[in-house]
A and B are shown apart, each in its own frame.
Chain A
């Protein structure tokens, strides 16, 4: 594609010719199709059409020269805005100092008057922290909101399972925290692959979230003075994490759910439980509604709106085994991707270091043990292979291994951060030890998380406070267990129920598992996707966590997007829609979309093959985990791409779905989700293959230091990979959003 400015002359009736600069600036994606975008600029001077005198000829020559110069200058500026493939991909980052961008942007964007908001409908898909908070806030502002979730109640969205806490730069502990430090930690934690302006804004609004949640009646943990308590999470050196035991996500989600309930009661939110979004409807290039399936009756419905917000979470379930809920899926994000939204950094996945290890083939999901446990738990494996062998054979218990025979490998390798290194680092270190043969369960895929030293430490402290004998071991241990129980009681109970071992007495066994996806739908600074009027918030988008997310930041981002960012930025877009009026669902675009949905569902259910949906999902998960998991290499990624493609083809030939379309049919719902995972998986592997560097959760074996640390390549890969859908995943087109850092120096990440 040649991108030059052309000069065109057009004769006027008065004997002069106007000069126009014509630039084919690239293309936009509208309704899933490429649309050329031309920019035309008429210059403020003209030529004489038929020059006669020498003066006139000279004048013309001079003006042509001037036009050429202007054309060149324009060309230079325009090139900056288009990317390698000619797509116009503009993150729309406001100008000015980093710390003033959001304040200035908010005060300059367009608003919609309260009377006009009543004429505008917004659809929100998903009711996790992002979706619920956005629904509640948009309804409070006055928009008519329609909200959809596939669960039987909005309160069950998977944000509820978040355990450890939520970060905020409150500096209540006086330990040197600030907005800038939270911003810096997040960028560094993300291995310099996130967008600076978005992350700064996130840190900026973090404090408001805590104020807001307390006002809503969220019962955060408090100290004896009645003030809010904090703890530490991985990758930081301050205590900025607010928490409610190991159920922080639950409490925050119920807070957002209560705010939603208030609006449902007022009729400002119409809530659709047990409904799944099947497709987005784009009219004249703008998002104007969705098609849904009622999961109880099987009915297909059309819903129109002036904007669509996707808050449907991440796609960790592409691995089959993950800490995500069984129903968590990529479908809403994938549907909009196929209609023109770019999908960014799909290979950036977080593998969480502390999960309960896999116990057998029947396993349907993995359970997380909160990162907060690493505040007090120490991770180790035996130093001697002989001890490992004895443990696996059940002849030795971990408590019998002497202190000097234990390898606290995180403390050994990363003395500055110790057990609180970021998740990607901790996960890889666990894999390294297990690969070397030091894994402590039957399958050799587990390490110990040990609380005995903190039980003793806390016990002594309590004994002193209570004026008891700090040398009485059994008393100290008892007191210590009480303290640990108060902090992590529900997590210890959960562990005991699943593994049938008492973690107060014997160390927990843990192993890394897929937990969160940093990648997601590409959005600009306003959180809008490349489909005008379609937004993506929370885990569904890609913007804030780069290549690795720090603990307790997902809750922060979900609520920041929903409560404090989207409600402002969406108004700027909707201000153009105050005269649009209601959008009819009888438009041909709706009809076409509905027909497409019906046909693909009928296609699926009529297969009558031989394998159930889970058969394919498990197979896909195995490919993903073995070849696109904690470490990746070129050959295996290539294999993964073709294996997933074959598996997908087999799925569409041989899947067997019982039941009918027009009834409660869980297998059919699963099939629609897995069919999207089978496409995403291929793009995932393609993205991982393309990114020839190791950064954050993306570890390419070809790119590591002698010590086995990740080797980033800022020269060639300091960009966001934003993929454009093109018929099938392997043909997807890569677009690059260059990442520029104004405020911080890009450095090698070190936690040593």
Chain B
């Protein structure tokens, strides 16, 4: 396959960025998108005219949430339920022009090229994304509280969020509601998490707002682009949790 790539290049957070065009030839359809960028980078390095394209990646099996990239206007590219590292070139056609940008949001400042700073997500988790139990191991037996399978499954589905930020990048408001609601839901559905659920949702939402994420207007783009298929229902659940908490306090 022969491809034309238009890639966002930006030296660091203080400098201005621009789109640059690269030609790629002999791309194998079995390559992953990141492996295609690897090939481009080795070409750039051997030519020695500029720095290789910086991008985040680590596990390359769709679970660590490190890779990002906004490809042809879609977070993680055209395929569904995958991260960029699992997107394969067979999803493109010979002669395609592919536009690659970083995940854009005020709360995700660009570090270099396609690398953005997503530490705002960590800070939201630090505000309440936990159960306040010590790690001494002196808790009760794991099977002492049965949990309805349905609730356990729903909690698990919410917990599969990988914190990649595709929801934020896809949202016209750059809202982090899907990310935050996934964590809130995971705990709200389990007896262990219920104890402090009231405070948790208030704290996490406050931190989310402080970080500069936008609000939710129920467009649903986040759910469509989420590589783990996190459901919009979690946002509804968070809203009801939030409402209940403000009414009670």
A residues with a Cβ closer than 8 A to B are 133, 136-137, 140, 151-158, 160-161, 170, 172, 205, 208-217, 219-228, 244-245, 247, 249-251, 254, 257-259, 261-262, 264-265, 271, 273, 296, 323, 325-327, 359-360, 362-365, 367-368, 490, 493-494, 497-498, 500, 563-564, 610, 612, 614-615, 656, 658-659, 663-667
Contact = CB atoms under 8 A, between A and B. Distances in A.
6 contacts: A133-B135, A153-B118, A160-B64, A247-B160, A364-B32, A610-B46
A498 B125 contact: no
Contacts, number: 219
Interface string B140-158: 1111001111001101100
Interface string B78-93: 0101100010101000
Contacts of B186: 217, 219
A247 B63 contact: yes
Nearest to A215: B139
B246 interface: no
Interface residues of B, number: 77
B137 A205 contact: yes
Given A226-B149, A258-B130, A362-B28, A217 B192 contact: yes
B30 A664 contact: no
Shortest 9 CB-CB contacts between residues of A and residues of B: A226-B146, A208-B137, A258-B130, A219-B156, A215-B139, A214-B142, A265-B126, A156-B64, A219-B155
A51 B193 CA distance: 84
Nearest to A170: B142
A211 B12 contact: no
A612 B48 CA distance: 11
B102 interface: no
Given A296-B111, A325-B60, A327-B58, A217 B31 contact: no
Given A226-B146, A226-B147, A362-B35, 15 more contacts: A152-B56, A158-B59, A161-B61, A214-B139, A219-B152, A219-B159, A245-B156, A264-B122, A265-B127, A497-B82, A498-B32, A498-B86, A658-B52, A664-B54, A664-B112
A210 B117 contact: no
A326 B61 contact: no
B121 interface: yes
Nearest to B137: A208
A222 B86 contact: no
Interface of B: 12, 28, 30-32, 34-36, 38-39, 42, 44-46, 48, 51-52, 54, 56-66, 79, 81-82, 86, 88, 90, 111-112, 115, 117-119, 121-122, 125-127, 129-137, 139-143, 146-149, 152-153, 155-156, 159-160, 162-163, 186-187, 190, 192-193
Contacts of B130: 216-217, 258-259, 261-262
Contacts of B12: 663-664
Given A244-B156, A259-B135, A158 B129 contact: no
Contacts of B90: 500
A264 B119 contact: no
Contacts of B59: 156, 158, 160-161, 325-326
Contact of A364 (B34, B133, B149): B34
Contacts of A154: 122
